[in-house]
Structure 1
């Protein structure tokens, strides 16, 4: 992990002209990440290059983006398609989500030769977008298990979750995997399921924040401002980050978490503790206090 001193001064000058000085937020976020990695003894922890499959490459703008599902990654992949010349669309929402997520639409850092990977890590702007861990987890649950069109997740995960955690499951439930409750999903996560799918895997596991030098850390809560700052920082052409209607996940958080016991919440927090600590999130809004 490299300290905030590695941020290029010229890039900061670009950021300072926008809004409420988003580069000041970057200083805070960088220092928080660095201090957290030091505190947990994870600074400089190595990472195998074949673990960098979530880091996408834009050689033209010397940009590395570690995508995190449920943190606006579909729109960021659409932007990368435009930046890399794979799409000439002037309206990013016209790019189908399935195409944005297709392997042919992005270049993964892990696909490069070792020497090229090292060069990119040393010389490219590297960024990640993060989100409150529990909001991201709830967003994944609602999108993959409550929506009726996500048959894959219901069949792939829902059936086994219901079989293991529902005492009086009907034959229909076991065959279709529908109607997984939030608590059943959480029990599955606590039983080792956090690493089963990228949509709910911790950011720490996907993006290795204590091993890579992230020169820009964006937050879902300030998405529009951070997107504009990052795009200006790399000298991107005029491209508007797609705005979508908020899903009110933060508003729903208390309602869903009422299904959980305090013991559940404490154990779930431990599963995502690195994401909480390294990126400055707490449980104040949910519980009224933070966990030690």
Structure 2
């Protein structure tokens, strides 16, 4: 659907379409297939969203669950399993079901929320690995085993970042190198740090709105008031990081990497960086030129 958008939304969409065309990402292929399995469709209110983890996903899962009729009491009681609640109401749609919904709901808004790929990566590391979440301990153990030589690649205050659970924790360098290795071996990457382009294929899904975590309040307000759900959705941001925000510590973590790791990370998130117009130059000169992986 064509909707009247504020200029900054138009600029984001125009920029994305230019980059899509430049890399032929707007053309389906064997390795560039349109994905809709992460979509949620609320037909009553005309909201169609592709959920990207670590990009305001907790906030918008709460919103979609509220729109589905769950009470605040139910949502609080199930705060640790919002996705399970959501999927009980919103099944994973096929490509044809997404297209049908867009056609059948003339006033619908299809949107995606993105985030600087480095901030999103670090958010995933802090929330899933550094915090020693029990579900992620086997993965953390793999990261430790894969690159024991990187266990000392960290700043002097490293121990101040580790929770007091007494468990070994992969350094950020070990975490990043494991992900880089998985990509090079063409193995699946965890949903919390998989490139956003791979997850929601924005060049093939033609989103009405590209919202950003960096301007979340303004972008959310536009979506909420445009669809008339302001009396149902509360203005709130869930799952904030403990201590300093991820934005505040992004440079701290990126600067722990070697030059080669940084370049590999840029290559991994190349499309995310370019499609969503994120700057990485401020990190380019802080990595360590004297270390090698």
TM-score (norm 1): 0.80
Kept after mapping to 1: 8 A contact 2:39/2:48: yes
1:78-103 Cα deviation digits (max 9, x unpaired): 10011122x132x8973633331115
C-alpha distance in structure 2 between counterparts of 1:283 and 1:168, whole Å: 24
1:74 to 47, 58, 69: 58
SS at match of 1:102: helix
User: Deviations along 1:182-224, whole A, 9 cap, x unmatched?
Assistant: 0001110110258321000010011010100100111001111
8 Å CA contact 1:130–1:279 kept in 2: the answer is: yes
Distance 1:202 1:139, change over 3 A: same
2:100 corresponds to which residue? 119
Cα distance in 1 for partners of 2:258, 2:11 equals: 33
For residue 180 of structure 1, the aligned residue among 158, 170, 174 is: 170
Distance 1:68 1:45, change over 3 A: same
CA distance in 2, matches of 1:75, 1:168: 35
CA contact (8 A) 1:158 1:177 kept: no
Q: Using the alignment, how far apart are the partners of 2:285 and 2:263 within structure 1?
A: 14
CA distance in 2, matches of 1:284, 1:229: 30
Alignment match, 1:285: 282
Determine the structure 2 residue equivalent to 1:172: none
Deviation at 1:119, TM superposition (A): 0.9
Find the partner of 2:118 among 134, 137, 140. 134
**Could you list the per-position Cα deviations for residues 6-60 of structure 1 after superposition, in whole angstroms to 9, with x for gaps in the alignment?**
5323xx4xxxxxxxxxx221011001110110111112436767x4211111111
Shift of 1:232: 1.1
Question: Deviations along 1:149-204, whole A, 9 cap, x unmatched?
Answer: x011122x1111111110498xxxxxx97311000011101102583210000100
Aligned: 1:162 with 2:155: no
Name the SS of the counterpart of 1:129 in structure 2.
strand
**1:63 touches 1:126 (CA, 8 Å); kept in 2?**
yes
- State TM-score, norm by structure 2: 0.80
SS in 1 for 2:229: coil
Which residue in the other structure is 1:53 paired with? 37
Aligned alpha-carbon RMSD (Å): 2.6
**Structure 1, unpaired ranges of 5+:** 1-5, 13-22, 170-175
Aligned residues of 1:145 and 1:178 also touching (Cα < 8 A)? no
**1:256: how far off?**
1.2
- Distance (whole Å) between structure 2 residues aligned to residue 279 and residue 92 of structure 1: 35
Alpha-carbon distance in 1 for matches of 2:196, 2:112: 9
Aligned mate of 1:199, from 159, 169, 192: 192
